[in-house]
Amino acid sequence: MVSRASTGDKMFQEYLLNQLGNPKQLGVNDRPSRPNSVNWKKEDSTRSRSILFLALAACCASAISQHRSAASTQLLIPENGFIALNPPMTPRRRGSLSTRTAHPHYLGLLQQLFDDVQLGVSISNPFEFLTKGEMIQACDDQKKIRALAPNTISCGKWKRRNQQCGKCVPCLIRRSSMFAAGVTEPKDLYEFSNLINLPLGTKKRADLSAILIALQTIGLEDVPR
């Protein structure tokens, strides 16, 4: 298992690892920089996280292949459903504004690159056709997953406040998935636990508005506002 922690969520990762029996894990936090460069500008977004996540895992898988003299080592990605595709819900979210960490096309191109350089890594995403809610429902140990799920981090804005906002796209997908699976989360888990309280016409409502627009665009007219 390879992990990369954002500021403030390492303790959650350590807790979950302990509850899962402490599987072998490598935690790496990259910090790219170019010292002594006048034109260097700090990149504080997370748009490059797709390639960073996979690069770290690919390094480990490639090392295992070489150590075992194997032709290839499987790189498992536990990503799924809508988040894996992450389609732009409005025109303004096209391009790099919607990171596609586990999109099949992206993974296919990356696999082709791995093969071309003979890296010895085989990418596999066994959950690509499941939603998060379906994954929870399909888990063999329902008691454990329902106990641990509230201790996981999904928020795209977590590092800003060390609290899940409850209104970004990852939070909205998480909350709908938990609801579908029948998992009750603590009300204080989210900064905005009640979306009705989001101010109209502000940036705080941008992601929710985008999802409502997308649902109406594909023909689902009965969408609560």
pLDDT in tens, the chain (225 residues): 777 666 666 777 777 777 777 777 777 666 656 666 666 666 666 667 778 888 888 988 999 998 899 999 999 888 877 777 777 777 766 665 567 778 888 899 999 999 999 999 999 988 888 888 888 888 898 988 888 888 888 887 777 777 888 888 889 888 988 888 888 888 888 988 888 888 776 778 888 888 787 777 766 555 444
pLDDT of residue 148: 86
- Is there a single domain that holds both residue 100 and residue 66? yes
User: Which domain-ending residue is among 129, 151, 180?
Assistant: 129
Which domain range does residue 79 map to? Answer: 46-129
User: Which domain-ending residue is among 129, 157, 185?
Assistant: 129
- Is there a single domain that holds both residue 116 and residue 140? no
- Is there a single domain that holds both residue 56 and residue 110? yes
pLDDT of residue 224: 44
User: Which domain-ending residue is among 79, 95, 129?
Assistant: 129
* Within-domain flag for 23: no
- For residue 84, the Cα-to-chain-centroid distance in whole angstroms is 8
- Is there a single domain that holds both residue 147 and residue 193? yes
* Within-domain flag for 28: no
Q: State the Cα–Cα distance between residues 175 and 169, nearest whole angstrom.
A: 10
- Is there a single domain that holds both residue 197 and residue 149? yes
pLDDT of residue 60: 87
pLDDT of residue 109: 92
Q: Say what the pTM is.
A: 0.73
If one counts the domains in the chain, the total is: 2
- Is there a single domain that holds both residue 98 and residue 168? no
- Is there a single domain that holds both residue 54 and residue 106? yes
* Within-domain flag for 16: no
pLDDT of residue 121: 94
pLDDT of residue 90: 73
- Is there a single domain that holds both residue 161 and residue 175? yes
Closest C-alpha among 44, 75, 70, 41 to residue 58: 75
- Is there a single domain that holds both residue 72 and residue 99? yes
